[in-house]
Chain A
Amino acid sequence: ETGVTQSPTHLIKTRGQQVTLRCSSQSGHNTVSWYQQALGQGPQFIFQYYREEENGRGNFPPRFSGLQFPNYSSELNVNALELDDSALYLCASSQSPGNEKLFFGSGTQLSVL
């Protein structure tokens, strides 16, 4: 058990809708990263938040946005959902950005129909 929890575990949406995924970080961690994993591929970096500020962003369109709260929990919002957004979304927390180990949640499986 890593102490990182994600909700919901599964979600079904239709194309064009909006979705919010949530992540609570491990106690003592101030950094949260979000990843998208499609079947058969490695995780793709979406963005990272460090002390409530975005600290790096991968190659994802602006309709992917996020927040980090004062307690270091985080949200991932995706607007105008597309079929290709169907994937497992992983959240990971760490003590700081950089070369610290990541502690992952068990993910949210999003299906867009």
Chain B
Amino acid sequence: ILNVEQSPQSLHVQEGDSTNFTCSFPSSNFYALHWYRWETAKSPEALFVMTLNGDEKKKGRISATLNTKEGYSYLYIKGSQPEDSATYLCAFIADSNYQLIWGAGTKLIIKP
């Protein structure tokens, strides 16, 4: 059974601080890793799709890295703002079977 773990489960961060959290996934049969942001009362929004070991992607103050050999990805947020408050989900795809296996998410709360 393929399992995707995200840590921490929740995180309180002071506005202006930087933070990061982890997505762990199986290191074999890797095909792609997705990151999504899900704000309350909205739809999940795609942040990154990562496919290559060593990949680094950036979108504004948010960036992500990927290590497929050891099975983890980090999401970084620089200079947290209140609008960054959301649940951040990662999803792993194995061997092009197109099934996304999702983590349970990291709930990020930014304190003003």
Q: Do A and B come from one complex?
A: yes
Query: How many residues does chain B have at the interface if contact means C-beta atoms less than 8 Å apart?
Result: 26
Interface residues of B (CB under 8 A from A): 4, 6, 31-32, 34, 36, 42-46, 49, 51, 89, 91, 93, 96-105
Set of chain A residues within 8 Å of B49, measured between Cβ atoms? 99-101
CB of A16, distance to nearest CB on chain B (Å): 29
Is A45 touching B101 in the complex (CB atoms < 8 A)? yes
Q: Do B43 and A2 have beta carbons less than 8 Å apart?
A: yes
Q: CB-nearest residue of chain B relative to A41?
A: B104
Give chain A's interface residues, CB within 8 Å of chain B: 2, 4, 33, 35, 40-45, 48, 55-56, 58, 90, 92, 97-107
* Cβ 8 A contact of A98, one of B44, B93, B103: B93
B103: min CB distance to chain A, Å: 5
In the complex, the answer to whether A103 meets B102 with C-beta atoms within 8 Å is: no
Q: Which of A33, A101, A106 touches B42 (beta carbons < 8 Å)?
A: A106
